[in-house]
Amino acid sequence: MKKKTTVLSCPVDLLDENEALKLSKESIEEKRNFHIITINPEMIMNAQNNSSFFNILNSSDLNIADGVGVKIALKLKGISQNQIRGVDFSRKLIQLASNDKYRVGFLGAKEEVIQKTKENFLKQYPSLEIVYSRNGYFQNDDEIIKEIVDANPQIMLVGLGSPKQEEFIVKLKEKLSGCVMVGVGGSFDVFSGIVKESPEIYRKLGLEWLYRTVKQPERFRRIFPTLPIFLIKCIIDTVIKKG
């Protein structure tokens, strides 16, 4: 049985990266679809007044704790959970694909980003079977879904930003079989080398968001006031539930 909890009524699975990888592998071997959400405070806040996104968070197969905000929210509930960074988890999935010869697909980001991502992974894993790759700027979801179904990937990384990528995966899941599907946000920008990953010290201190905001100031509006409001709501929620 998977251990689960909720943060502001949204489900979060309590497991480590290796357990998440093991579940992914099992689902591929058993030809089941598996939708993984790397859940962060922005998504949880979005779900508070967007019932269709709330339903998506409740119908996915695994919500892994990304974002230091979720780690802090869990700590407030007395739960110690390591942050599983979406970028790291996706890299592990690619490594798994290379070892176990699973077909992979990439959808998202700008054309030069997705090309460079493909090139970088093939340099690292020359035998990686990339059966699909496409930039994330398109009009007709159904056309793209058909292309992906024809390519038949077993691991599909979708980086369209949230909630677009989760909504897309829900539709894709109805048509595919035996595929692990993960919304990876801006990870392709990192894989391509076009956006620099935050230095390890920032990651260790849980200050990745600060580094990314300084490098891309346009992110400021997304983080503030969402992150502080998220934390205040979590504190209130914890106090009410204890009282």
Q: Which two tokens stand for residue 10?
A: 């949204």
Q: Are 125 and 98 in contact (CB under 8 A)?
A: yes
CA–CA dist 135, 224 (Å, integer):
29
Single out the residue of 61, 84, 68 nearest to residue 230, CA to CA.
68
Report the nearest approach of ligand UDP to the CB of residue 243 (Å): 34
53 touches ligand UDP by CB under 6 A:
no
Residue closer to ligand UDP (CB basis): 120 or 177: 120
For residue 2, report the phi and psi dihedrals to the nearest 5 degrees. -75, 145
CB nearer to ligand UDP: give 109 or 182. 109
Shortest separation between residue 212's beta carbon and ligand UDP, angstroms: 8
Distance CA 56, CA 52 (A): 6
Number of chain positions touching ligand UDP (CB under 6 A): 13
List 109, 148, 179, 227, residue binding ligand UDP (CB under 6 A):
109
Q: Are strands 104-108 and 62-65 parallel, antiparallel or unpaired?
A: unpaired
Among 189, 191, 227, 234, binds ligand UDP (CB under 6 A): 189
Q: Is 206 in the site for ligand UDP (CB under 6 A)?
A: no
- Does position 105 interact with ligand UDP (CB under 6 A)? The reply is no
Per the CB < 8 A criterion, the answer to whether 14 and 81 are in contact is yes
What residues from 149 to 178 belong to the interface with ligand UDP (CB under 6 A)?
159-162
Q: Is residue 110 a contact residue for ligand UDP (CB under 6 A)?
A: yes
Is residue 108 part of the contact set for ligand UDP (CB under 6 A)?
Answer: yes
Which residue's CB atom is positioned nearest to ligand UDP?
A: 136
- Shortest separation between residue 109's beta carbon and ligand UDP, angstroms: 4
Q: Is 27 in the site for ligand UDP (CB under 6 A)?
A: no
Of 6-14, 18-26, 123-131, 183-191, which part binds ligand UDP (CB under 6 A)? 183-191
Judged by CB under 6 A, the residue of 41, 69, 136, 163 near ligand UDP is: 136
In sequence order, the β-bridge partners of residue 36 are 62, 182
Under rule CB under 6 A, residue 44 binds ligand UDP: no
Pair of tokens at residue 9? 């009524």
List the alpha helices (DSSP H) in the chain: 17-29, 41-48, 51-59, 68-76, 86-100, 111-124, 141-151, 164-173, 187-191, 200-204, 208-215, 220-223, 226-242
Which residue from 41, 105, 153, 185 is in contact with ligand UDP, where contact means CB under 6 A? 185
Give the H/E segment covering residue 185: none
Which residues form the interface with ligand UDP (CB under 6 A)? 108-110, 136-137, 159-162, 185-186, 188-189
